A and B are shown apart, each in its own frame.
Chain A
Amino acid sequence: MTVTTEAPAAELGRARLRKEDARLITGQTNWTDNIRLPGMLHMAFVRSPYAHAKITRVDVSGALSQPGVIAAFCGADLADEQGSMPCAWPVTPDIVIPHHPPMAVDEVRYVGEIVACVIARDRYTAADAVAGVDVDYDPLPPVLDIRTALDENSPKVHETGNKCYEFVMVNGDLDAAFRDAPVVLEREYRQQRLIPSAMEPRSVVASVVGDEFTIWSATQIPHIVRVMMALTTGIPEQNIRVIAPDVGGGFGSKLQFYREEVLAVLITRRLGRPVKWTESRTEGNLSVHHGRDQWQRIRIAADHDGRIRGLSVDLLADMGGYLMLLTPGIPILGAFMYPGIYKMDAYSFRCTGVFTTKMPTDAYRGAGRPEATFAIERIIDELANELGVEPLELRERNWIKHEEFPYATVAGLTYDSGNYEAATAKAKELFDYDGLRREQAERNARGDKVRLGIGISTFTEMCGLAPSRVVGTLALASGGWEYASIRMLPTGKVEVLTGSSPHGQGHETAWSQIVADQIGVPFEDIRVLHGDTQVVPRGLDTYGSRSLAVGGMALVQACDRVIEKARVIAAGLLEASADDLEFSAGRFAVRGDPDASKTIQEIALEAFTGHNLPDGVEPSLDSDATYDPENFSFPHGTHLCATEVDTETGFVKIRSYVAVDDVGVVVNPLIVEGQVHGGIAQGIAQALYEEGVYDDDGNLVTTTLADYLVPSAADLPSYVTDRTQTPSSNRLGVKGVGEAGTIASTPAVVNSIMDALKPFGIRDIEMPCTPERVWRAIQNSGGAA
Chain B
Amino acid sequence: MTHITVTVDGAKYVDQVEPRLLLVHYLRDVVGKTGTPVGCDTSNCGACTVLMDGVSVKSCSVLAVQADGSDVTTIEGLANGALHPMQRAFHEEHALQCGYCTPGMIMAATDLLRDNPHPTNEEIRDGLEGNLCRCTGYENIVRAVRRAADAGVTQ
Chain A contact residues, CB within 8 Å of chain B? 17-18, 20-29, 31, 33-34, 122-124, 197-201, 246-249, 251, 280-282, 503-506, 670-671, 673-675, 677-682, 704-706, 710, 712-714, 716, 718-719, 741
Contacts and interface: CB of A to CB of B under 8 A. Distances in A.
Dominant secondary structure at the B interface: loop
A712 B90 contact: no
Given A200-B100, A670-B94, A713-B138, A31 B40 contact: no
Interface in B15-68: 18, 20-21, 25, 28-29, 33-42, 44-45, 47
A198 B34 CA distance: 19
Given A26-B87, A29-B99, A199-B101, 14 more contacts: A25-B96, A28-B35, A198-B98, A199-B100, A248-B37, A249-B98, A281-B40, A677-B139, A681-B136, A681-B137, A681-B138, A704-B40, A712-B125, A713-B133
17 contacts: A21-B90, A26-B35, A26-B83, A27-B74, A29-B34, A124-B21, A199-B100, A199-B134, A199-B135, A200-B37, A248-B98, A281-B40, A673-B94, A673-B140, A674-B135, A681-B137, A704-B40
A249 B94 contact: no
Given A282-B41, A710-B134, A504 B99 contact: yes
B110 interface: no
Contacts of A34: 28, 34
A200 B98 contact: yes
B8 to A, nearest CB: 12
Contacts of B103: 27
Given A677-B140, A713-B142, A25 B98 contact: no
A198 B134 contact: yes
Contacts of B37: 29, 31, 33, 200, 248
A504 B39 contact: no
Contact of A26 (B76, B98, B134, B135): B76
Nearest to A15: B94
Contacts of B150: none
Contacts of B92: 17
B142 A20 contact: no
Contact of B94 (A18, A23, A719): A18
A710 B100 CA distance: 15
A321 B45 CA distance: 29
B98 A503 contact: yes
Nearest to B103: A27
B100 to A, nearest CB: 3
B6 interface: no
Nearest to B128: A713
A251 B91 CA distance: 22
A23 B45 CA distance: 21
A197 B90 CA distance: 22
A201 B90 CA distance: 23
A741 B134 CA distance: 13
B41 A31 contact: no
A200 B98 CA distance: 9
B117 interface: no
A397 B141 CA distance: 40
Nearest to A677: B137
Contact of B134 (A280, A675, A682): A682
B73 to A, nearest CB: 11
Nearest to A668: B94
Contact of B96 (A21, A198, A200, A716): A21
A20 B99 CA distance: 9
Given A199-B132, A201-B39, A706-B44, A24 B142 contact: no
Contacts of B38: 33, 201
Tell which of B35, B129, B139 has the most Cβ of chain A within 10 Å: B139
Contacts of B34: 27, 29, 31, 33-34
Interface string B112-148: 0000000001001110111111111111111000000
In the A-B complex, the 8 residue pairs with the closest CB atoms: A27-B35, A248-B100, A504-B98, A24-B99, A681-B137, A705-B44, A677-B137, A27-B75
A681 B140 CA distance: 12
A248 B106 CA distance: 16
Given A25-B87, A712-B128, A280 B136 contact: no
A679 B135 CA distance: 8
A251 to B, nearest CB: 7
Which of A29, A199, A681 has the largest number of chain B CB atoms within 10 A? A199
Given A678-B136, A681-B138, A718 B121 contact: yes
Contact of A671 (B33, B94, B128): B94
A313 to B, nearest CB: 30
Contacts of B126: 713-714
Given A28-B76, A713-B141, A678 B40 contact: no
B79 interface: yes
Contact of A678 (B90, B97, B132): B97
Nearest to B35: A27
B98 A704 contact: no
Contacts of A678: 97, 134-137
A198 B74 CA distance: 22
A178 B79 CA distance: 67
Nearest to A34: B34
A674 B92 CA distance: 13
A18 B139 contact: no
A209 to B, nearest CB: 23
B102 A716 contact: no
Contacts of B132: 199, 705, 710, 712
A123 B28 CA distance: 12
B63 to A, nearest CB: 13
A738 to B, nearest CB: 10
Given A18-B91, A24-B99, A27-B76, A712 B130 contact: yes
